[in-house]
Amino acid sequence: MSRATCATIHLDALRHNLNTLRQKAPHSRVMAVVKADGYGHGLERVARALSDADAFGVAALADAERLRAAGHRQRIVLLSGPDEAVDIAVLRDLNVDAVIHHPSQLAWLEHAAAGPPLRVWLKIDTGMGRLGFPLAEAVDIHRRLRNCPAVQKDIVCMTHFARSDEFGESMTHEQIQRFDACLQGVPGERSLANSAAVIGWPASHSNWIRPGGALYGLSSVDGRSGTDLGLRPAMTLSTRLIADKRIEAGNSVGYGAGFVAQRSMRIGIAAIGYGDGYPRLAGTGTPILVNGRRTALVGRVSMDLLALDLSDMPEARVGDPVVAWGEGLPIEEVAARAGTIGYELACGITRRVRFQEVDSR
């Protein structure tokens, strides 16, 4: 039999989340962000489920190629734009929009060979400190882009938030104000909001929202799961029990012998580990479901296996289903135990894990 570890992708959850975000921002169009192989859920599969999106956002030109090859005809936006001058021709061939955030990219456009003009999103740094032109240069760059024959006239201005997942924090409000003030009188559409801003900062919705994580039911809001935010998890990571045993008080479990039983315990062994993308840093106490009921990890996670406490589950047997995260167990709870966010866990599922999709439409 094949290894039991399996990532089940719920296509109906993806659609539900897209609709939920549309309801939160009813006057905005949606760029569904599908970078990193659809946040680890599978690019083609995710794009098929979200084919109603007004645009797709990708981080790599190769992903744009895959979306066109799969037949998607809507706008695709390359979120970090061309990496070198030759990318301009590929963007044209694929009819992909380019984010322009750096003077080198502007120069490639200004020196581009004659050809069909590209659609451009002008990225402005309002405080994220990553990609984007400084506020003071934005109007001038916008003018140069408008005068550039390689660029279509309907330029979208965009910025990205550093702290939109902190709903009470003032920085997002300040970034919105800087963006608006700097672009007074500049024509064209605007785009600011990532997932957390769609949910927590209605003033940022504008013409285009750019949710990623929320589409997959992921939350970046500290202490709140995707479910808490009205989303449904699009991934369930599951496996099975492959062994059980009793250990007596004073005996240890796993590498490093870091967990020592204080009493006689029944231990289960599940066929999943960091070789599948389950975080090694999630140790003793991390929640996990056996037969849909919550119990906890015991000891260190190994490459292929982890141990869990079956002491209160006398009915559990070898072969029973184990859920690492998904429906009934928010990925955010496991991530918090590993000192990270659900986004990283979803992106980190490894190639040996079998993917299957379900659709309960």
Least distance (Å) from ligand PLP to the CB of residue 84? 20
Question: Measured between alpha carbons, how far is 140 from 204 in angstroms, rounded to an integer?
Answer: 24
The encoded tokens of residue 321 equal 């289903």
Least distance (Å) from ligand PLP to the CB of residue 192? 9
Catalytic residue status for 35: yes
Cβ atoms within 10 Å of 336's Cβ, excluding its own:
17
Shorter beta-carbon distance to ligand PLP: residue 127 or 213: 213
* Strand 235-247, strand 6-10: pairing: antiparallel
Question: Measured between alpha carbons, how far is 143 from 160 in angstroms, rounded to an integer?
Answer: 21
Give the residue at shortest CB distance from ligand PLP.
212
Least distance (Å) from ligand PLP to the CB of residue 89? 24
3-state secondary structure of 347: helix
Backbone angles phi, psi at 260, to 5 degrees: -120, 125
Cβ atoms of 17 and 214 within 8 Å: the answer is: yes
Query: Of the listed 39, 123, 153, 255, which one is catalytic?
Result: 255
Shorter beta-carbon distance to ligand PLP: residue 204 or 220: 220
Shorter beta-carbon distance to ligand PLP: residue 79 or 324: 79
Selection from 192, 108, 197, 189 nearest residue 150 by Cα:
108
Least distance (Å) from ligand PLP to the CB of residue 214? 6
Scanning 34-130, the segments in alpha helix (DSSP H) are 35-39, 43-49, 61-69, 87-94, 103-110
Please report, as ranges, the residues that interact with ligand PLP according to CB under 6 A: 33, 35, 79, 160, 194-195, 210-214, 220
Question: Measured between alpha carbons, how far is 98 from 75 in angstroms, rounded to an integer?
Answer: 10
Shorter beta-carbon distance to ligand PLP: residue 59 or 139: 59
Shorter beta-carbon distance to ligand PLP: residue 99 or 265: 99
Catalytic residue status for 278: no
Least distance (Å) from ligand PLP to the CB of residue 218? 7
Query: Of the listed 35, 39, 216, 274, which one is catalytic?
Result: 35
Question: Measured between alpha carbons, how far is 41 from 190 in angstroms, rounded to an integer?
Answer: 28
Q: Which residues are catalytic?
A: 35, 255
